[in-house]
Structure 1
Amino acid sequence: MSIGLSLSLAAIPRAYSAESVPKGNRYAQQPDIPGASKRRTQATKSTFDAKYEKIRDLIADDAKLRRKIKSVSKAYKIDPIHIVGALVGEHTYNVDAYDRLQSYYIKAVSYAGERFRFEHDGESVLDFVKRPEFDACDDSAGSQEVWTCREEIWEEAFRGKKVSGKSYPNDRFGAVFFQPFYAGQTFGLGQLNPLTALIHTDRVNKVSRLRKLDAGKASEVYKAIMEPDSTLAYMAADIASSIEAYKKIAGFDISENPGLTATLYNVGNAKRRATALAAENDKRKKRGLKPKLPTENYYGWLVNQHEDELREIIQR
C-alpha cells in the first residue's frame, strides 16, 4: 500500500464518529492463505488444523500463562481475547507452538551474549536514520512517534529505490534493518519483530515498568521479545495501539472484534492502514456511500471463526 507523505499522521482526513465494528467475519469464506505459510506448514509435515489445536491446547493447559495474559491485558486495558487471538494466529500460520514456554527464554539467554547490531549492508540503523530524510522525525517525541515516522520515511523515500547511488530492498523497514538470526523476521511467543518492540518501548516502560529498549543494544531487544513475560507486554501494547489508531484515525472501534486486531498484529502498520481507510471513507462519504468497515485477513478470519472456543478457554 503506497500513501504519500501528505497522508501522514499530521494530515489525516476527518474520521467518522467512532462506529463499533460488530463481532464476526465480514467475509463468508476465509481469504487466501499465503503460499509461504503453506510451505512452512508442509515442511513440518503438519496442517493448519493441527497447529491451531496445538496452540489452543497449550493455552488451555497452562493456567499460569492464562493468568499472565489476563493480567497484562488488564494493565493495557484490552480484552485478553486479543492476545489469545494473536498467539493463535501466529502459531497457526507462522510457527509451531513450543511445548514448553521456557524454550523461548533459553534461546534469549543464549543469544544475549552475541555481538550483533541492527544493520543493513554494513550500515547500522542508528547511522542510517541520521540521514537528512529523517530530520522530520523528532527523537524527543517518544518511541512510537519517532520509529513510526522513520518507518514511514523508509516506505516513501527508500523502499525499492536508489538513493545517492545505492539501491535499497523493496521490503519493510523491520525486515531490512531488523533481520534476526535465521531466515525469519520474528521471534518469541508473540513472534514480535524487534522494530515493534522499539516502537512500543516507552509505553511498556510506563505501564509494565520494563527497561526502555535501545536500537544500539540489539541483544537486549531480542531478549525482551523472546522472554515470555516481557513479550506479552509488548504484544498488549501493540494491540492497544492498533485499537486506538482505528478509533482516532479511521473512526472505528475494533475492540469487540479480535479478528481485526489479530489481522493488524499480523500485517502491522496499523496507523498507515487506518489512515488509508479514513481516506477511502472520506471519498465514499462525498459520493453519498456508507463507510467501508475494516475487514479481516485469513489470519484474523480464523480467530473470529474460533472466538467462542477461545473465549471459553481464557475465561477459565
Structure 2
Amino acid sequence: MRRFLLALLLVAAWTVPSGAGAGGLLLVPEGNRHAEQPKVPGASVRRTRAGRTTFDDKYEKIRDLLANDRALIAKIKSTAGDYGIDPIHIVGAIVGEHTYNVDAYDRLQSYYIKAAAYAGNRFRFGFGSETIGEFLTRPEFAKCQRFSDSYRRWTCRENVWDESFRGRKIGGTAFPNNRFSAVFFQPFFAGQTFGLGQLNPLTALMLSDTVARTSGYPRLDESDAAGVYEAIMDPDKSLAYIAAGIRRSIEDYKTIAGVDISRNPGITATLYNTGGSANRAAALAARGGGALPEENYYGWLVNDRLAELKSLL
C-alpha cells in the first residue's frame, strides 16, 4: 500500500512547469555510463535470430528508412516541438524499438496501410469472458475514479492490478502473474506492440489526455480496442504518443529525482523501453548522493550511435 500511495503522489508531475527547480537540477551528461553494452535480453536475441537477421542489419534498416524519408523527419521535428523535447529523443526511441523488438518496414507507407487494416475491426480488450470495462467496475478500482487525468487514473488501475489481482485467484477466476497490459490489452498474443513507436495499448490509454490536449487527437476509449490500435499504428498519431511518453519521463525525473535527463537520449530511450519512469525516478531519488540513471542495452546503442542519429535530423 505504501508503494501504491507513493506512486500516486509521484505521477502528478505532469502539471509542474518544466522549468520548476531548474537551477537545482542535476544534469545527466551526454554519453554512456557503461563502457560496454549491457546484455541484450534473450527474447530479443531469439526473435532476431528467428527472423534470420542481426541487430546490425535491423539498425541499418531503420536508420536508412529515416534517412530516406525527409517528410517523416519533418513530422518528427514538428511533433518534438509541440511537446517541448529535442527530436533526437524520438529518433532514439524509434531506432531502439526497430533494432531490438521488430524489423522496420521498407517504406513509411507500409505503416499507414497496416494501421488502416485495423480500422473498424471488431475485437476487445479483456481477459476470458470479462471485458476491461466490466473488470474496472470491481470495487477495488473505485478509488481510481477520483483521478481526472488519464495518466494518473490508468497508473492507479495498474497498481491495483499488481496489488490485488496479479497471480491471485479471485471469485473463482485465476488471474495470470503477468503485467496488466499483457493480460487485458493484447487480444492477439502477449507481448505484441505495433507501429512506428511499438507502443502498447495501455501506454496509449495512459497518455490519451496529454495527446488530446497537445495534438488535438480524440481521447482514446478502452471499449474501442480498434480505435486504440489505429491510433498507435498510424505514424502521424503514434509520433504524438511517442513524444508524450518521452516528455513524461523527462518531467518525472525532474520533479521526482531532481535530475535533468533531457540531454541524454540514451536515458530517455531506456525509459521508453522499460516504462515506469515515475517509480524509477523515485528509486533513483532514494539512492541519494547525486546518483545518475544508467542506460540499458537499448539506450546504450542510441548513445553509442548518437552522432550518426543526429545527422539524420
Decide: shared fold, TM above 0.5: yes
Q: Which residue of 2 aligns with 1:313?
A: 312
- AA in 2 matched with 1:303: V
Structure 1 unaligned residues grouped into runs of 5+: 282-289
TM-score when scaled to structure 1?
Answer: 0.91
Contact 1:187 1:225 in 2 (8 A): yes
Q: Using a 3 Å threshold, how does the CA distance of structure 1 residues 133 and 186 change in structure 2: closer, same or farther?
A: same
Q: Which residue of 1 aligns with 2:46?
A: 39
**C-alpha displacement of 1:274:** 1.4
Work out which of the residue numbers 200, 204, 207 in structure 2 matches 1:197.
Answer: 204
Query: Does the residue aligned with 1:197 lie in a helix, a strand or coil?
Result: helix
- AA in 2 matched with 1:253: D
**C-alpha displacement of 1:270:** 1.1
Q: Which residue of 1 aligns with 2:18?
A: none
Q: Which residue of 1 aligns with 2:4?
A: 5
Alignment of 1:1-316 (within 5 A): 4-10=3-9, 17-138=24-145, 140-182=147-189, 184-281=191-288, 290-314=289-313
Q: Using a 3 Å threshold, how does the CA distance of structure 1 residues 95 and 11 change in structure 2: closer, same or farther?
A: closer
RMSD, matched Cα:
1.9
Q: Which residue of 2 aligns with 1:286?
A: none
Query: Does the residue aligned with 2:143 lie in a helix, a strand or coil?
Result: coil
**C-alpha displacement of 1:222:** 0.5
- AA in 1 matched with 2:193: T
Query: Does the residue aligned with 1:310 lie in a helix, a strand or coil?
Result: helix
TM-score when scaled to structure 2?
Answer: 0.92
- AA in 1 matched with 2:158: E
Query: Does the residue aligned with 2:218 lie in a helix, a strand or coil?
Result: coil
Q: Within 2, Cα distance between the matches of 1:157 and 1:172?
A: 13
- AA in 2 matched with 1:91: H
Query: Does the residue aligned with 1:151 lie in a helix, a strand or coil?
Result: helix
**C-alpha displacement of 1:167:** 2.2
Contact 1:9 1:275 in 2 (8 A): no
Q: Which moved more, 1:103-112 or 1:263-272?
A: 103-112
Q: Within 2, Cα distance between the matches of 1:11 and 1:109?
A: 37
- AA in 2 matched with 1:74: G
Q: Which runs of 4+ in 1 moved over 4 A?
A: none
Q: Within 2, Cα distance between the matches of 1:125 and 1:46?
A: 37
Contact 1:3 1:276 in 2 (8 A): no
Alignment identity in percent?
59
Contact 2:124 2:187 in 1 (8 A): no
Q: Within 1, Cα distance between the matches of 2:25 and 2:160?
A: 29
Q: Within 1, Cα distance between the matches of 2:193 and 2:44?
A: 14
Contact 2:10 2:256 in 1 (8 A): no
- AA in 1 matched with 2:112: Y
Contact 1:81 1:311 in 2 (8 A): yes
Query: Does the residue aligned with 1:153 lie in a helix, a strand or coil?
Result: helix
Q: Within 2, Cα distance between the matches of 1:173 and 1:278?
A: 26
Contact 2:183 2:190 in 1 (8 A): no
